[in-house]
Amino acid sequence: MGNATGALTKIAAFTETAFNTTPGSPDGRLLAVQSFGLKAAEDRSTDPTLSGYRGQARTTADRRNVAGAIQVSVAPEDIGFWLTHLIGKPTVTGTGPYTHSFAVDPTGAGALPAGALFETDFGAGISTPGRYVRYSGCRLNQATLQVPSSGHPTLSMDWLGANFDADESSALDSTLTDTGHKAWNAKQVALELDDGATSVCFESFSMVFGNDLDADRYCVGNGGVRHDLPEGQFIATGQGTIYFDTAALMNKALNDTDAKIKVTLSRGDGLGSAGNESLVITIPLAVFAANTPSIDGPKGLKLDANWTAHRSTGEIGITAVLKNALAAVY
């Protein structure tokens, strides 16, 4: 009897060109994850008809649901795939190294992809059918970038999907692209407010980006599968805790003044060649919630720093610029 383990399970990712449709020429990427919680579920429906017996009739298969969390360490080799499904398809410049620029572009070339397909391969110890499980029509609902003071930055994502298939006898792509994985660490992170004009020391900081997907679209006659997962507003918020050694951020919040937030992950010269990759996330307009520190004891004081991003004129101006050695990231 075989024994499937997380260590030996391979997870492949494909970008769909049509929602919930297997790509015609599958070109998959081998994913590196901390955890992969995306999984299938199917409701069971009970017929309430009375038939002269106390026992219920056999339940029947009903709506299907695909949902779950995926958590990854942030690395230059694969963060581009996640950003594509979070913000939209990037514009690419350079001939090696490459610059991948992401911005919210709902209807243009930088729009979100139609969806993603994931395939888990539990390994040769699990016979088919059952070794390969595919989740199709997947879209990224929300992602949280956690920037710690030690360890590795992490991206925690909540995904939704349309359908699943565990009947396949072979992998969708037997020659997955393996870009490698070398995560940035906390020492390679810089956090800046107002281009350095507002000086603060964060104990912790996180950014939450949401696509506000509509998960309740099931059509009559669609076999219990989600019809689509259209996005709503692009919502960006965040939380942080700062050491209260200056009143600069507190005063900015109390005065209802906008702030600019920039997070940079960079190693080497940051220009994009192998070992010199960088990612810069810029939020040009954010406002911190008014707040003052509590005094909980004799030691140093702290201040909660919670914020929301907004647009001014035109589309929201949040951008992410990734420089790495890969020509394609999704």
Least confident range from 4-8, 88-92, 158-162, 278-282: namely 4-8
The answer, yes or no, to whether residue 134 has pLDDT greater than 70, is yes
pLDDT confidence bin for 199, thresholds 50/70/90? confident
Reported pTM: 0.94
Q: What is the mean pLDDT of the chain?
A: 96
Quickly list DSSP for 53-93: SSSPPPPEEEEEEEEEEEEEE--TTTHHHHHHHHT-PPEEE
Could you tell me if residue 57 is inside a domain? no
Q: Per-residue pLDDT averaged across 158-173, rounded?
A: 96
Q: Per-residue pLDDT averaged across 78-99, rounded?
A: 97
Angstrom CA distances, 245 to 186, 252, 279, stand at: 22, 15, 29
Output the pLDDT for position 322.
98
Phi, psi (deg, nearest 5) at residue 80: -65, -35
58 close to 44: Cβ distance less than 8 angstroms = no
Q: Which residues of 282-317 are buried (b: 16+ CB within 10 A; e: fewer)?
A: bbbbbbbeeeeeeeeeeeeebbebbbebeeeeeebb
Could you tell me if residue 226 is inside a domain? yes
Output the pLDDT for position 182.
97
Share of the chain above pLDDT 90, in %: 98
Could you tell me if residue 245 is inside a domain? yes
Give residue for tokens 């919670």: 306
What's the structural domain count of the chain? 1
pLDDT confidence bin for 1, thresholds 50/70/90? low
Q: Per-residue pLDDT averaged across 86-111, rounded?
A: 97
The answer, yes or no, to whether residue 109 has pLDDT greater than 70, is yes
- 221-230, pLDDT tens digit by residue? 999 999 999 9
Could you tell me if residue 109 is inside a domain? yes
pLDDT confidence bin for 3, thresholds 50/70/90? confident
Q: Per-residue pLDDT averaged across 111-115, rounded?
A: 98
Could you tell me if residue 48 is inside a domain? no
Could you tell me if residue 54 is inside a domain? no
The answer, yes or no, to whether residue 125 has pLDDT greater than 70, is yes
- 49-63, pLDDT tens digit by residue? 999 999 999 999 999
Question: Could you tell me the residue range of the domain that residue 184 belongs to?
Answer: 10-42+63-170+180-324
pLDDT confidence bin for 2, thresholds 50/70/90? low
Judged by DSSP in three states, 96 sits in coil
